[in-house]
Amino acid sequence: MDLVESYAQDLGFARKRITRTLLALLLGTLVAFPWVAPDYMVFIATLVALSSIGVIGQNLLIGYTGQISFGQAGFLAIGAFSFGHFSIWGAPFLVALVAAGIMAALAGVIVGFPSLRLKGPYLSIATLGFGVAVYQIFVNSEVLSGGRSGLAIAKLKPMLGLSSVRYEYFVYMLLLVGFTWVTYNIVSSFVGRAFIAIRDSDIAAEVNGVNLTRYKLLAFALSSFYAGVHGALYAQVLGHIEPQIFNILESITLFVAVIVGGVASIEGSILGAIFVILVPKVFADFREMVPMVYGLGIILVLMFQPLGLYGLWLKTRLYFQLWPFR
Amino acid sequence: MEKLLQYSFTGLSAGALYALVALGIVLIYRSTRVLNFAHGDVATLSTFVAFSILSNGYGFPLALAGSLAVGAAVGIGFYFSVLVRAQREGANLLGMVALTLGLALILQGVAVYVWGAEPVSLPFPISSTKTYRVGVVVVSQLALATMAAGIVGGLLLYLLVQKTRLGLAMRATSENLMAAQTLGIPTRLVLSVSWGVASALGVVAGVFLAPALLLDPFFMLDPFLKGFAAAVLGGLNSLPGAVVGALILGVAESLTGAYLAIQYKNTLAFVIIIVVLLVRPEGLLGKEFKERV
């Protein structure tokens, strides 16, 4: 039975006992994972955790608010380099992380302003232009990018007697869980409803009292904050950044993750992040196949499974819920 | 003054190629309302086909014809096999953008797989070192050929769109799809022709750009983005706008390189996009489709 008796209950994250059990199981697996898996797998899981944050942010913008942005690599670069400079100046990890996110969010607000006038294809071109412009500015400006050798970032000091790979994994997973929780709350609050209303029809949303300016800018700021954090965490993991990392392909990869994972779903974003991290690893010996797999992935998903991997999971779940009566 | 003229001319010849790219983008956008992110990659793939034909010892006309055929075939094939289905199922803007992006990624993969990621140079019959002197301006043979290609391509497109029955059908279809269908225009065929012609224009640009740049699977990315910028500058649904925008962009870029800072030459295009979109989102000559609530 799934009887909702109050609004608070309706907003509740896990309403049914089975959901709570599965959630606990999932969290348990995440905690146990680094103790059983080899270091390499733990490292990949760390990468998945950090990209998931970026993909969730991108999904807030593309999937929930319906603003197509191809400039995500620009925000990644801004986040990563702000993080790099702040940590070189001696800021602690969390402070530098938040600062990186805020810098990216400021850039997001600046890019968001044109979004108020632009729609659909025009916005995607403008953001694409932004991404490329940021890339070229970083490539050409030695002050920002630390010159030809890039910026070196000190590794995190492991605490609690953990090995450095495991420590990084736990920090990143914790951040991912935090971001996921926050995003769930954003999406199910009035803010999320405003985003969805803008996506479905911005004129109708405005007529119904959604402040378009405020919410579009908020969507941009939020998503670029996530992207900045993604960039910062990526910089931390790599330990060394140069502007060439954040090229247009990086934006496209995030876009692929959103589409393949499933638009407008948080679980889907995480699945999408897993997809774009695992595909290059699986095809490590056939690197030229990676774009092909991405491209086929997008086209197949859009033609046969518009909700992406998350839609696949929903179908599987439905099958087992109805089993054997179908 | 000489410097100004010289750089303006270089800019015009680059602008001619941007115009070809931009015309393709605009042609597709105004007929199917799809922003074709695969435009550059179709051109790349076809240019590689031309490369293969040339390096097997066949002549340039055959190579050009072969690459045009491949480009048009990819465009038409994509339209019929993917886009028609997607539109029938009511794909939204995001879906269509993503589909063309998917095509772009696949073509990129194919190009890397077949021809490798190493840059190669296209054996081209027109040299870029042979120069002529016209008044005070020094013109390379390649620049002249590029310009000629741009003018011929643009002119042929103009004749097709404005002077033929097919062109009339194309204009009618892009004006109002429903009404065109009711009047008995085979819209699907007409739209597929638009895709084919647009891809072919991109291929011409690719083939003429390849000798100036080196040929690698990503060499069209930059010209493609410039073509985008030009299309936005001129107005995404105006064919003359695309040409005007491309020429302005080409000259502005060349002059920036000459007088301001060479390393920010490429950034200029994107600054232009953002400024134009802020000041006049429909572009210089464009008229945006009205939205009904």
Q: What is the ipTM of this complex?
A: 0.81
A117 touches B: beta carbon within 8 Å:
yes
pLDDT at A1 over 60: no
Residue B106 exposed, middle or buried by CB count within 10 Å (0-12, 13-18, 19+)? buried
The larger pLDDT score, comparing residue B89 to residue B153, is at B153
Question: In terms of residue numbers, what domain contains A155?
Answer: 41-322
Residues 6+ apart with CB under 8 A from A56: A179, A180, A183, A226, A266, A269, A270
Determine contact: B160 vs chain A, CB below 8 A: no
Q: Which of A126, A287, A294 is nearest residue B277 as measured by Cβ atoms?
A: A126
Among chain B residues, CA nearest to A119: B281
Task: Kindly determine whether residue B274 and residue A302, on different chains, have CB atoms separated by under 8 Å.
Answer: no
Q: Are A33 and A45 in contact (CB under 8 A)?
A: yes
d(CA B293, CA A205): 12
The confidence score (pLDDT) of residue B129 equals: 67
DSSP state of A246: S
When pLDDT is averaged across residues B59-69 and rounded to a whole number, the result is 86
Beta-carbon contacts of residue A315 (< 8 Å; ≥ 6 apart): none
Nearest residue of A to residue B34, measured between CA atoms: A121
Among A140-149, A277-286, B89-98, B282-291, name the most confident range: A277-286
Count Cβ atoms below 10 Å from residue A4 Cβ, excluding itself: 11
Both tokens of A23, joined, read 């959630």
Give the type of residue at B192: S
Question: What phi and psi, each to the nearest 5 degrees, are found at residue B215?
Answer: -90, 110
Measured distance CA(A105)–CA(A229) in Å, rounded = 10
Stretch (H or E) spanning A10:
helix A7-11
pLDDT at A282: 84
Q: Tell me whether residue A227 is in a domain.
A: yes
For residue A4, tell me if it sits in a domain.
no
Residue from the list A62, A248, A295 with its beta carbon closest to the beta carbon of B106: A295
Instruction: Indicate the DSSP class of residue A91.
Output: -
What pTM was estimated for this model as a whole? 0.86
Task: Scan for tokens 């995500």, then name that residue.
Answer: A72
Number of Cβ within a 10 Å radius of residue A316: 10
Instruction: Determine contact: B84 vs chain A, CB below 8 A.
Output: no
Q: Do B103 and A299 touch (CB under 8 A)?
A: yes
Residues A242 and A139: their CA atoms lie apart, in Å, by 8
Kindly state whether residue A176 falls inside one of the protein's structural domains: yes
Distance of CA B201 to the CA centre of its chain: 6
Tell me if chain B has a CB within 8 Å of the CB of A306: yes
CATH code assigned at A132: 1.10.3470
What digits encode the pLDDT tens for the residues A304-326? 887 888 888 888 888 888 877 76
Contact A291 B93 (CB under 8 A): no
CA distance B222 to A42: 37
Distance, CA of A92 to chain centre: 23
Smallest CA–CA distance from B33 into chain A, residue? A121
Strand intervals (E) in A123-176: 151-152
**Is A302 in contact with B102 (Cβ distance < 8 A)?**
yes
Residue B128 confidence class, pLDDT cut points 50, 70, 90: low
The pLDDT tens digits of the residues spanning A31-90 come to 888 888 888 888 888 889 989 999 999 998 888 888 888 888 889 888 888 888 888 887
- For B102, nearest residue in chain A (alpha carbons): A295
3-class SS letters over chain B: CHHHHHHHHHHHHHHHHHHHHHHHHHHHHHHHCCCCCCHHHHHHHHHHHHHHHHHCCCCHHHHHHHHHHHHHHHHHHHHHHHHHHHHHCCCCHHHHHHHHHHHHHHHHHHHHHHHCCCCECCCCCCCCCCEEEECCEEEEHHHHHHHHHHHHHHHHHHHHHHHCHHHHHHHHHHHCHHHHHHCCCCHHHHHHHHHHHHHHHHHHHHHHHCCCCCECCCCCHHHHHHHHHHHHHHCCCCHHHHHHHHHHHHHHHHHHHHHHCHHHCCHHHHHHHHHHHHHCCCCCCCCCCCCCC
Q: Looking at the domain assignment, is residue A152 inside a domain? A: yes
Give the domain ranges of chain B.
24-219
Per-residue tokens: A285: 């010996």
Range 144-183 of A in CB contact (< 8 A) with B? none
Instruction: Look at chain A and report how many structural domains it folds into.
Output: 1
Helices (DSSP H) in A189-265: which residue ranges?
Answer: 190-200, 202-207, 212-238, 248-261
Planar angle of CA B122, B125, B127, nearest 5 degrees? 90
Testing the interface with A: which of B78, B256, B270, B288 to mutate, by most A Cβ within 10 A?
A: B270
The reply to whether A41 touches chain B by the CB within 8 Å rule is no
Instruction: Give A185's DSSP letter.
Output: H
Q: Nearest C-alpha of chain B: how many angstroms from A118? A: 7
Residue B289 pLDDT greater than 60, yes or no: no
Contacts of A1 (CB under 8 A, 6+ apart): none
Q: What pLDDT, on the 0 to 100 scale, is given for residue A13?
A: 65
- CA A217, CA A116: separation in Å to the nearest integer? 8
Residues A120-176: tens digit of each pLDDT:
777 887 788 788 888 888 877 777 767 666 777 777 677 776 777 888 888 889 899
Which structure tokens are listed for A87? Answer: 């940590």
**DSSP element (H, E) containing A240:** strand A240-241
Q: Is residue A77 part of a domain?
A: yes
Q: What pLDDT does residue B36 have?
A: 86
What's the token pair of residue A22?
Answer: 């599965």
Please state, in angstroms and rounded to a whole number, the distance separating the CA atoms of residues B181 and B172. 9
3-state secondary structure A39-81: HHHHHHHHHHHHHHHHHHHHHHHHHHCCCCCCCHHHHHHHHHH
| pLDDT for residue B127 | 65
In a domain, A177, yes or no: yes
With respect to residue A253, please indicate whether it lies within any of the assigned structural domains.
yes
In this prediction, residue A226 carries a pLDDT of: 92
Whether the per-residue pLDDT at A275 is higher than 60: the answer is: yes
pLDDT of A203 > 70? The answer is: yes
Q: Cβ–Cβ of A298/B101 closer than 8 Å? A: yes
Q: Helix or strand or coil: residue A151?
A: strand
Per CB-CB distance under 8 Å, the chain A contacts of B35 are: 121, 124-125
Task: Tell me which residue in A125, A128, A291 faces B108 most closely, judged by beta carbons.
Answer: A291
